[in-house]
Structure 1
Amino acid sequence: MKNKNLNKLEAKLMEIKNNQVYDYDYFIPEIWLDPNKSKQISKININPPAFFLEAISKINDLSRNKFNLSNDWSNQAVVYNMLTRFTTAFDHDGDGKINIIPGKNGWRETGTFLKTIALLPYIFSLGCNTVYMLPITSIGIDGKKGNLGSPYAIKNPYKLDSNLSEPILEMTVEEEFSAFVEAAHLLGMKVVTEFVFRTASIDSDLAIEHPEWFYWIKNSIPNRIKPDDENSYGPPIFSDSDIEKIKAKVEKKDFDNLIPPSKIYRNMFTEAPEITFYEDEKLRGRLKNGEIVKIPSAFADWPPNDVQPVWSDVTYLKLYEHKDFNYIAYNTVRMYDNKLAKAENILKDLWNSITDIIPYYQNNFGIDGVMIDMGHALPSELRAEIINKARENNQYFVFWEENFVLSKKSVEDGYNASLGFLPFDQHSAQKMNALIYQMSVEGSPIPFFLTPESHNTPRAASRKGTDEFSKLAWAVNSFLPGLLFIHSGFELCETNPVNTGLGFNKEDQQKYPPEKLPLFSNLSLNWSNDKNIIDFIRKINEIRSKYFQDFQENYSPKTLIHLKASDPDIIAYMRIINTYKLLILCNLNGIHKSNVAVELNDNSKIEDLLSGTKYKTKYNKLILNLKPYQIIICLCD
């Protein structure tokens, strides 16, 4: 039956509407109800079931003008990336906080699949044709950070996080997620979910049935506090000379006889226990000799001297079994030693379990693609099995990788796109000009995400210029070859990061402990920020839609021309789109204006599509004055 779960959801909402006495507050941001309300967004009090029913009705109406993506849709993706429990979290009862447990009225304040369905008309209005969700699977409890735990601490990859359901509906979380996918597909949207195949929570369900899939250490060994204490558990300690030797071998791709950790470190690890059990909500095991053991936490595996603290909530899966490599280190979980990485050492049952995960979500929910967390760190044979098995189900199934390096190898490995490095470089005119020049000469080895931020980096609006820099980034990115990408909150000019994973200093990390980070705790977006750029995004989208409609050569270098400007703070390029020429010009200096001259190949009449201002070139040069963060997008005759 088509849209079976969405229809069931609709019936449940109608039942609640007819039977529940509505005598309570349920506030939502006004833009959830009216996506066109982009300024002075207040919170409004609504009847929840009536609101959700109206949202489903809107989706049905909008489906008449749904997106029509080709089979090879990844290159056409305009992505809305979200952490589900955060993006649709809201203080519905108005008590000043996001409550974790459902209220007396039965509705959750943390984000849910139902509220994400209601947000689809808004996401549709931003021109996004793909929803990419950070992990939505069940979350471990032991060692969790914040009051919710990290979605990357996956307790069971075959179970969804039950906190993403609305208990009042009396539907399973699986049915509610299916309803979301069905609703997205009605709009012609694709659904991409993120998976982690190399790690699991330290209290993983899988360890109960398969303790041999995990590493174990003696329960008596404490976690390291002092960085040089080799008798406590933490990342293995290597001498400076060994670090240099390790890096040299890995750089040469020489994985024979990689230097192992010290004997003291290796002796912390034991065989898998005969019995596993829970003790005060912590997973433990008992060896044949009666000794109690535990699953050790993971840590940053490369480089071997990485100073990040131990990750308290996750561990590495034991992908190979070999008596000489029964420990967690760079040479067992990433730069696999050649003696270890042999077919006879593969834990085949574990590999089969991993490669069956995506087909499970394809067959049961109809997802369209996945982002693989740290996919480049998986054994190449395992990665190939994962991709091949999914594409046996659906030859057009999309794979994205979390990789900052753009290379042809990613395409050879089967990926459609990579994260790329724009979140780190967007605020640098020098780096942006270098990128655009390179793309104009040789293109990109693989399509990548056009975004100034991700869930691991500082927010674009927290950098210089706040909303003005965010506008500039969206305008510049909108006409480059790649996957346009909105990290949820970017359009609202949210400044609070989701996580402090990359690009943060110690001061930032102290400012944002887990309790203040949505990746770990119950927080919500600032939907009422009047400095949002929603209207600007839509205006740029209109220009893009008009000129990029049916444009088949978006990724061809010959359609991109990097232009030389007299000021290093200026980003300037031109796109040749069918019979049109679009000039994109902006001043990335947020303080000083720029008297700039841009060299063009001919004398053209130029009109700024944003302001309507007309310019003339002289002697093949366009000379004008750009204010701080000013952007012009010109149609050239």
Structure 2
Amino acid sequence: MEKVYANPLTHQFLSLFSDDPKTLDPLRYEKLVQEANGDMRILLQRIESEYQLVVAPAFSDWVNDPQPVWSDVTYLRLYLDFTPIAQKYIHPEQKPYILFDGAKASLYPCKVPNEKLWETLSDLVVHYQDLLGIDGVRIDMGHALPQALVQRIIAKDPNVCFIAEELDIQNAEHIKAQGFNLFNGNGFSGGVRIQEGQAKTFYTTVPTLALPLFAYSESHDTCRTSARVGKKKMNDLCTTINMFLPNTVFFINSGQELYEIQLMNLGLDCNEDQINNLEPSDPRYRKLALFDPFYFTYNDFDDTLFTRIQYLQNYRQTYIDSIKNKWYLDLAIIDDSKTKLAFALEREDTYLLLVANLDLFNKQSITVDTTPLHYKGINIVLSNDKDQDMLLPTLQLDAGEVILLELNKT
């Protein structure tokens, strides 16, 4: 933030801000409120025409993020003073403004909370519980709220599942201490970078974390899985692993099951070139679903992944307690590499063994150390070749294949 505030362009930006309409002319503002009759759009339009002011749009809390400005929302003024880091850079008469430190109040808290606003925000979860009967909530940009406010919100009802929009899995302990029950994580990046070795590390690290996270390879803010290296094969691989990954909550992004390739937003782990994934003749070419009219191709699509998810859901439900409680074995692999993965979920009378070839372009022979598994019978749950003799400990896997075997305990 020091570099941001020291930049001359920042001072030009800050000079654009003004006092709010009510402060500038209370009587005229009250008249506009009455004329708008509760319609916020009309009120904002009248403020723009009467005061020549617009509400500052929100934006990503990451400096130089390529995604567009969030023109349909704004940031709330959580504090009545400015951040300490800004004090030596701003003019004493500076009007209220929003910059990256204000957007990330979790890192840059001030000293004077906007108490009336904090009270309102603290009551929102209870309001939606009463109105809609919700049992969990992910507050958009909740990771950017000051910790004191987060704890106040959670204290209203500790039985609600609070989801943190936290991407760094190394912060699991920290956000658990804040009172969150679940977090986003970075499966959309860590779980798809196979050749760099990140995917293997991600899948073996997640079960050991202090807090559960979403098991997902894409979201409405990221690149589409089917648009990455390996295309549909990457999607099949990641989705299958994510369905059974211990210590996670399985998450599917709308359209992922249809192998959609057009991303919804230029938000996370993507670049501006990916807006061109579709052919120019497609009506959705260069369109983003978060900003433009959009549709998915339900009328004519490859249903391979859709069917697989339906089929495997029963097995996932059978082993859901194992996934939640981390009843699993991280199995060693002979001649291990960054493209070989194996683990087993455990129940009272069975194991579910998952063996994955993370190499999207080459077949592999994978030998698993099954010494910890005491079994007498094998049921093939998922395999490209169900006629293959499943002679453990060595399995032959196609490129990007996941084999699932249910083993009966002795």
Pairwise CA distance, 1:631:
1.8
Q: What are the residue-to-residue correspondences of 1:451-470 with 2, within 5 Å?
A: 451-470=216-235
State the distance in 2 between where 1:309 and 1:492 align: 26
1:564 maps to a residue whose letter is I
> Counterparts of 1:374 and 1:361 in 2: how far apart (Å)?
18
Residue of structure 2 in register with 1:315 after alignment? 74
Deviation sequence 1:212-265 (CA, Å, 0-9, x none): xxxxxxxxxxxxxxxxxxxxxxxxxx8xxx43xx8xxxxxxxxxxx97985544
Give the gaps of 5 or more residues in structure 1: 1-237, 247-257
1:421 CA displacement: 0.8
Counterpart-to-counterpart distance in 1, 2:164 and 2:237? 26
Instruction: Work out the CA distance in 2 between the residues paired with 1:635 and 1:586.
Output: 15
Q: Paired residue for 2:350?
A: 580
Letter of the structure 2 residue corresponding to residue 396 of structure 1: N
Could you tell me how far apart the structure 1 residues matched to 2:79 and 2:372 are?
62
- Aligned position for 1:367: 134
Given candidates 94, 106, 110, the residue that maps to 1:341 is: 110
Inter-CA distance 315–379: structure 2 relative to 1 (3 Å threshold): same
The corresponding residue for 2:18 is 270
Distance 1:447 1:298, change over 3 A: same
Q: 1:631 aligns with which of 376, 389, 402?
A: 402
Query: Aligned ranges for residues 453-602 of structure 1 at < 5 Å?
Result: 453-481=218-246, 482-509=248-275, 516-532=287-303, 533-546=305-318, 548=319, 551=321, 553-556=322-325, 559-566=328-335, 567-601=337-371
For residues 72-127 of structure 1, the C-alpha deviation after alignment (integer angstroms, 9 at most, x for no partner) is xxxxxxxxxxxxxxxxxxxxxxxxxxxxxxxxxxxxxxxxxxxxxxxxxxxxxxxx
**What TM-score do the two structures reach when normalised by structure 1?**
0.51
* 1:558 Cα offset (Å): 5.9
Label 1:504 to 1:382 Cα distance change in 2 as closer, same or farther (>3 A).
Answer: same
Contact 1:607–1:613 (Cα < 8 Å) also in 2 = no
Q: Which amino acid aligns with 2:155?
A: N
C-alpha contact 2:66 2:272 (8 A) present in aligned 1 = no
Report Cα offsets for 1:301-350 as digits up to 9, x if no partner: 334x5565543333221111236672222333324797x722xx222222
* Alpha-carbon distance in 1 for matches of 2:20, 2:193: 50
Give 2:316's aligned amino acid: R
Distance in 2, Cα, partners of 1:337 & 1:625: 49
8 Å contact kept, 1:478–1:544: yes
Q: Which residue of 2 aligns with 1:294?
A: 54
Cα distance, 1:483 vs structure 2: 0.5
CA distance in 2: counterparts of 1:409 and 1:401, whole angstroms = 11
Please tell me whether the aligned partners of residues 226 and 261 of structure 2 are also in contact (alpha carbons under 8 angstroms): yes
Q: Deviations over 1:280-321 (max 9, x none)?
A: 9853649xxx96433222333334x55655433332211112
SS of 1:582's equivalent? strand
Q: CA 1:324–1:450 in 2, change beyond 3 Å: closer, same or farther?
A: same
Contact 1:432 1:571 in 2 (8 A): no
Q: Pairwise mapping of residues 152-163 of structure 1 onto structure 2 (< 5 A)? A: none
Aligned to 1:410: 175
Q: Measure the CA separation in 2 of the matches of 1:409 and 1:336.
A: 12
TM-score (norm 2): 0.76
Instruction: Please say if 1:396 is aligned against 2:159.
Output: yes
Give every structure 1 segment of 4 or more consecutive aligned residues whose post-TM-superposition deviation is greater than 6 Å: 258-261, 278-281, 512-515, 602-605
8 A Cα contact 1:493 1:529, kept in partner = no
Does the aligned pair in 2 maintain the 1:583–1:633 contact within 8 Å? yes
Q: Tell me how far 1:403 sits from its aligned partner.
A: 1.4
**Letter of the 1:270 counterpart:** S
Q: Residue 314 of structure 1: SS of its match in structure 2?
A: coil
Cα distance change on mapping 1:300 and 1:520 into 2, 3 Å: closer
Instruction: Give the one of 329, 336, 352 matched to 2:99.
Output: 329
The residue type paired with residue 300 of structure 1 is S
CA distance 1:299–1:544, shift in 2 (3 Å): closer
2:106, 2:145 within 8 Å by CA — same for their partners in 1?
no
Task: Give the AA of the match of 1:351.
Answer: W
Contact 2:330 2:344 in 1 (8 A): yes
The CA deviation at 1:381 is: 1.9
**Do the aligned residues in 2 keep the contact of 1:561 with 1:575 (CA within 8 Å)?**
no
Give % identity.
Answer: 27
Root-mean-square deviation (CA), in Å?
3.4
CA contact (8 A) 1:514 1:521 kept: no
Given the alignment, which residue of 386, 394, 397 partners 2:153? 386
Contact 1:581 1:635 in 2 (8 A): yes
Partners of 2:332 and 2:369 within 8 A in 1: yes
Letter in 2 for 1:540: L
User: Following TM superposition, by how much is the alpha carbon of 1:408 offset from its aligned partner in structure 2, in angstroms?
Assistant: 1.6
SS at match of 1:624: strand
**Per the alignment, do residues 371 and 477 of structure 1 end up closer, same or farther by CA in structure 2, a change over 3 Å counting?**
same
- Count of residue pairs the alignment pairs up: 365
Distance 1:291 1:280, change over 3 A: closer
Inter-partner Cα distance in structure 1 for 2:253 and 2:107: 37
Cα separation, 1, equivalents of 2:95 and 2:370: 61
Partners in 2 of 1:505 and 1:408 — Cα distance? 31
Contact 1:330 1:336 survives alignment (8 Å): no
**Partner SS state of residue 53, structure 2:** strand
Shift of 1:405: 1.8
Q: Distance in 1 between matches of 2:69 and 2:371?
A: 56
Q: Please say if residues 575 and 583 of structure 1, whose CA atoms lie closer than 8 Å, have aligned partners that are also in contact.
A: yes
Q: CA deviation at 1:477?
A: 1.7
How far apart are residue 555 of structure 1 and its match?
A: 4.3
Q: Which runs of 5+ in 2 are unaligned?
A: 82-92, 279-283
* Cα separation, 2, equivalents of 1:544 and 1:308: 35
CA offset at residue 529 of structure 1?
3.6
Shift of 1:420: 0.8
Higher relative contact order (CA 8 A, sep 6+): 1
Contact 1:565–1:572 (8 Å) recurs in 2 = no
